Structure 1
Amino acid sequence: MEFFVKGVDVFVKLLILIGAGLGGWGVVNLLEGYGNDNPGAKSQGMKQFMAGVGIVLVATLLIPELKGLFA
């Protein structure tokens, strides 16, 4: 079971990194869209940012509950 708990911890950290990267990329696209007055880039940037936030929330709130299932 210790292997599973460590695996969940690594998975959470990996998902947080992916979500933060996607959110950061979204912010860059959003700011680029505002700078160039490009509605397409603004829309894409907001979608990427919100997807990154969603991934981080899932990684921090839901995935750690898996540890409790096998404890």
Structure 2
Amino acid sequence: MDFFNSAVSSLSTVVVAIGAGVGVWGIINLMEGYGGDNPASKSQGVKQLMAGGGVILLGLRVVPLLSGLFS
């Protein structure tokens, strides 16, 4: 059972890291859109930023619930 709990902890860390990467990519696109006055790039940046935040929340709230799945 310790292996499963450590795997869930590692999975949570990986999901949060992926969400943070998407969020940072969104911030970069957002700043690029403001720099070039490109509304499409601004829109894409906001979408990526919000999606990254959602993935981080999943990694922090939903993935740890998997550890109680078999107990």
Q: Structure 1: where are the runs of 5+ without partners?
A: none
How many pairs align? 71
Distance in 1, Cα, partners of 2:35 & 2:54: 26
Q: CA deviation at 1:59?
A: 0.5
Question: How far 1:12 moved relative to its partner?
Answer: 0.4
Question: Which amino acid letter does the alignment assign opposite residue 31 of structure 2?
Answer: L
Indicate the residue corresponding to 1:36 in structure 2.
36
| Cα distance per residue 1:37-66 (max 9 Å; x no partner) | 101100110111111000000000111011
| Distance of 1:16 and 1:30 partners within structure 2 | 21
Task: Spell out structure 1 runs of 4+ moving beyond 3 A.
Answer: none
Identity %: 51
TM-score (norm 1): 0.94
- Aligned partner of 1:26 in structure 2 is 26
Aligned to 2:52: 52
